Amino acid sequence: MTFTDRADAGRQLAARLTELLDGDGDAGGAGGGGAGGVVVLGLPRGGVPVAYEVAQALGAVLDVLVVRKLGVPFMPELAMGAIGEGGVKVINPDVVNSLGITPETIEEVEGEERAALDRRLTAIRALVPQRPLAGVVAVVVDDGIATGATAAAACAIARAHGAARIVLAAPVVAAASARALAEVADAVVAVEEPRRMSSIGRFYDDFGPVPEHEVLEILARGR
């Protein structure tokens, strides 16, 4: 095992990020999420406890990036797009065109995913308001990245919200995914980049599920 739990993973990941972000100015000056600051965005749910440790170490703002992948109906792991907070939607034209996916299909999938996204956002934003991303360095954090579909969608959503630079970070990232994600993020940072990864959980001693209430508690503590 490489990590004791997500908190330990976050601390190890923060050590890798500190040097990278040193040239981006004072992370602590991003209290309002303004231009030139750093905002750490955890992907609920497992990415949030990792992101908390990263934000604490960097002295940066902690927030979440709620993303729902728009999976191809007959290949749900393949992302044809994604939706995010504020009505943002990104579509992957290569996937849509190559598979002949109709606008009606996209609309149907989006409707289902939008309902799930809105339910999560209602609980989160009642506690913590959304931080503006225009002009900031957005550090998108998850607890591990295997295929990279959700991570790519998250980067696209952060970009659509106006982030000036996107750093994608996770304790463990499959090597092939890290190479592919370098095309959608300005930097990809990991503690471990295994050539073969059967599961993210095998890199943790404790990889239990993170309940929704814990996500809210962490966000409240981070603010």
DSSP string, 58-84: HT-EEEE--EEEEEETTEEEEEEEEEE
CA 223 and chain centroid, separation:
18
Question: CA 93, CA 115: separation in Å to the nearest integer?
Answer: 23
155-170 pLDDT, tens digit per residue, is 988 999 999 999 999 9
Q: Where does CATH 3.30.1310.20 sit in the chain?
A: 68-125
Architecture of the domain made up of 68-125:
2-Layer Sandwich (3.30)
User: Is residue 76 very low, low, confident or very high in pLDDT (cuts 50, 70, 90)?
Assistant: confident
Q: Which of 223, 218, 145, 138 is nearest to 186 (CA)?
A: 138
Architecture of the domain made up of 6-67+131-222:
3-Layer(aba) Sandwich (3.40)
pLDDT at 29: 43
4-29 pLDDT, tens digit per residue, is 999 999 999 999 999 888 755 444 44
Q: Where does CATH 3.40.50.2020 sit in the chain?
A: 6-67+131-222
| Tokens representing residue 189 in the block | 């940072």
Question: CA 207, CA 222: separation in Å to the nearest integer?
Answer: 21
Report the first-to-last Cα separation within the chain, whole angstroms.
31
